[in-house]
Amino acid sequence: MSSIYKNLSKAGTNVENKSPVILPRPDFGYPAPPSFTGIKVAIVGAFIIALGAFALSIFLYRSLADAKGSREKIERNYVALKEETQTLGAEADQYRSEIQRMSDQLKNYSTQRSELNQELSRSRVEISNLEKKMKEIEDRNQRIEKETRQLTQSTPVSRAATQATVPTQSVPQPAAAEPVAGPQSPTSGTAVAGESKPSQKVNQVMTVNRKFNFVVVNLGIRDQLKIGDRLAVERAGKSVGFIEVEKLYDSFAAATIVEERDNAQIKEGDPIRKV
């Protein structure tokens, strides 16, 4: 190889005007040296490919790292969202239970309101009925008072009339009675006779008021009658009803008709007796 290069150096190469002149290569019978151009190209290409692969691997690594980070971030967000969803679900359940409880309370309140309205309506009706009964009782009491006042006023008049009839009957007889005895005059004899045979009091019904369902009887405080005493009303020995003492006076009383036979109602003059 050295001899070849020497021969080439001897041959020389003339370069003029930047135009190289290559002398013909002598043929010494040796094979031509191998060309390394393809290998170099291949090496360069492989190097470039290796650089590209390295760059690609770096890019892929970074992309994978970014993807992994993104995935971890997404997973963290997913876990946070899942926990928040569970929390919101629990709160929603609480709200639903609270709404259900409030709905039940509202139903109960509505039911209680309806019951209270019904009770109020019943109370109003009862108040109205009580007012009517009170009015009836007041009218009844006024009627009883009126009739008792009339009876009270009529009783002294009848007694005065009875006392007035006794002297008129004894006026023509005093002269005939004087010879017999001074103290015993016909007048006194008449009085004694009247006292020896007193009229027996009959306990009976004096007045009947059908409008207010009460009667007035000729028994009172003097007869040891008490409020609430029950009296039986009879006729011909048979009971026709029962009355209960409501108001008391000295010699008479007002009593409510408690029981009465349909075919035999209580009338004025019916005898009464304590039960």
Tokens of 213: 């369902």
Taking CA 159 as the corner, what is the angle to CA 154 and CA 165, rounded to the nearest 5 degrees? 125
Average pLDDT, the chain: 75
Phi-psi region of 227 (alpha: psi -120 to 50; beta: other; left: phi over 0): beta
Dihedral (Cα; 174, 179, 182, 185), 10-degree rounding:
-30
Rounded Cα gap, residues 25 and 32, in angstroms: 11
Q: Measured between alpha carbons, how far is 123 from 129 in angstroms, rounded to an integer?
A: 10
At which residue do the structure tokens 């928040």 appear?
A: 84
- How far separated are the first and last CA of the chain, in Å rounded? 172
Are 1 and 32 within 8 A, CB to CB?
Answer: no
CA angle 211, 213, 215 (to 5 degrees): 110
Residue type, 264: A
Residue 169: what pLDDT?
Answer: 35
Distant-in-sequence, close-in-space partners of 11: CB < 8 Å, separation ≥ 6: 23
CA distance 233 to 268: 10
Question: Can you tell me the distance from the alpha carbon of 261 to that of 179, in angstroms, rounded to the nearest whole number?
Answer: 62
The tens digit of pLDDT for each residue in 75-86 reads 999 999 999 999
Q: β-pairing, 253-260 with 205-209?
A: unpaired
The SS3 of residue 262 is: coil
Low-confidence ranges of the chain (pLDDT < 70): 1-36, 152-199
Rounded to whole angstroms, the Cα distance separating 228 from 82 reads 84
Cα 23 from Cα 2, distance rounded (Å): 18
- pLDDT for the residue numbered 237: 86
Q: Which of 186, 189, 185 is nearest to 197 (CA)?
A: 189
Instruction: Identify the helix (H) or strand (E) that includes residue 206.
Output: strand 205-209
Q: What is the pLDDT of residue 101?
A: 92
| pLDDT given for residue 255 in this prediction | 93
Q: What is the pTM of this model?
A: 0.38
